[in-house]
Amino acid sequence: MQSINIFWFRRDLRLNDNVGLYHALDADLPVLPLFIFDTDILDDLQDTKDPRVEFIHQRLKILDQALSSHGSSILVKHGKPETVIKELMDEYNLKAVYTNHDYEPYARIRDQKIEKLLRANKVLFFTFKDQVIFEKDEIMNDQGEPYKVFTPYSRRWLSLLARKDLYDGIPVFNPSHFYQTSPLEMPSLPDIGFQPTGCVFPDNGLNQKLIKKYDSDRNFPFVRGTSRLGVHLRHGTISIRDAVKTARALNQTWLNELIWREFYMMVLYHHPFVVDHAFKPQYEKIPWRNAPEDFKKWCQGQTGYPIVDAGMRELNKSYFMHNRVRMITASFLTKHLLIDWRWGEAYFAQKLLDYELASNNGGWQWAAGTGTDAQPYFRIFNPYSQQQKFDPEYKYIRKWVPEFETDQYPEPIVEHKSARERAINTFKTALNQ
């Protein structure tokens, strides 16, 4: 039985500038590429037409084509990771598993179990930093604690980035060390219980013209002013080091967005309770209304507030929502309707192609006032002024709400001024208990 190592692809679906893959190929044994469609994750998805699963499946095909040029192929499995790894240890003389760090609570528990299983069978387990520039305890305050506010975190982040090697990428990998095999059969989407969605996926190119204008165009939902790279950063189909290098050269505002991404990942890593609870414990006292009918109208884009409805319909139709509109819709749900941020976060998690736990959680807690650097509870977006400022000619609204300004468009489900006053009084009373 031939001795091999495995490289386990997860949130790093690319060959170039992949830290863990580089180290696997730099070792002495042939490397078998592996991806596992994890049933512990897939079984929780509510719809068999999920664009994220389709995106991953599509990128695995692209990855397999690239591997074929090196005489190799990717082994794609469907099941529980522990079960898959056990089967591979029976099938191969497995010496080591290489992979890259994942910081989400489920992933950390999974990796602890896998490492325990491997080491019990005298198989080594190596993981590496790849999806971020800084991780875990690399950016701490003067007291040696993780930052709770973005601005000092970002200053520290930028000062440490002066070390150019952090974003220069890694050396070219050695392709001759891939396990040589004929193409391995890849399960189809139906094989793993899913169907095509028809979603049009954004490409993973770093659009330099767009990034140069990011700071001036990013707030207007009727123009293509954002990079749409969220799904690629989430699944590692682009290198964060390439992205940061481009941002440093072209646009500080876009670089700031990449720093926010890492800040929220750091918050989640050090405070995993934020998945289900407010970062600021006193905000657990808020008596949310949680009116199911209002929530349903928000989900469907039938609130009578055009900028909110346009955003929700864009999300439901395209699996995407413009960043500015995400803030507006989240503020409306949590402040105007006084519905728990966890309801909205879960809906976004179900729908967004670029869903990423840390950023989604951080964004929703910011909007609700419950998180780090949160929007103060008394600052409430006015949907009308937001529309006048960022969609003054109704281009975005008319695209997604064709019945706007007709008798078919619903009346507002709440009145702005009274809803604002209700939210302020509710928050103030709860927080002063």
Q: Which residues are catalytic?
A: 257, 260, 288, 323, 341, 364
∠ Cα 260 266 271 (to 5°): 125
Is 382 within 8 Å of 284 (Cβ atoms)? no
Cα distance between residue 253 and residue 303, in whole Å: 32
Is 232 within 8 Å of 56 (Cβ atoms)? no
Bridge partners (DSSP) listed for residue 249: none
Count of C-beta atoms within a 10 Å radius of residue 250: 18
Query: For the CA atoms of 92, 95, 99, 103, what is the dihedral angle to 10 degrees?
Result: 110
Cα distance between residue 131 and residue 294, in whole Å: 38
Beta strands per DSSP E along 109-151: 124-128
The two structure tokens encoding residue 113 = 């179990």
Cα distance between residue 270 and residue 76, in whole Å: 32
Residue 412 DSSP code: P
Cα distance between residue 54 and residue 256, in whole Å: 30
- DSSP letter for each residue of 80-110: -HHHHHHHHHHHSEEEEEEEE---SHHHHHH
Is 331 within 8 Å of 341 (Cβ atoms)? no
Is 221 within 8 Å of 325 (Cβ atoms)? yes
Cα distance between residue 353 and residue 349, in whole Å: 9
Alpha helices in 125-251 (DSSP H): 150-160, 208-212, 214-217, 230-235, 240-250
Residue recorded with tokens 């140069």:
212
Q: What are phi and psi of 91, to 5 degrees?
A: -85, -35
* N-to-C CA span, the chain: 68
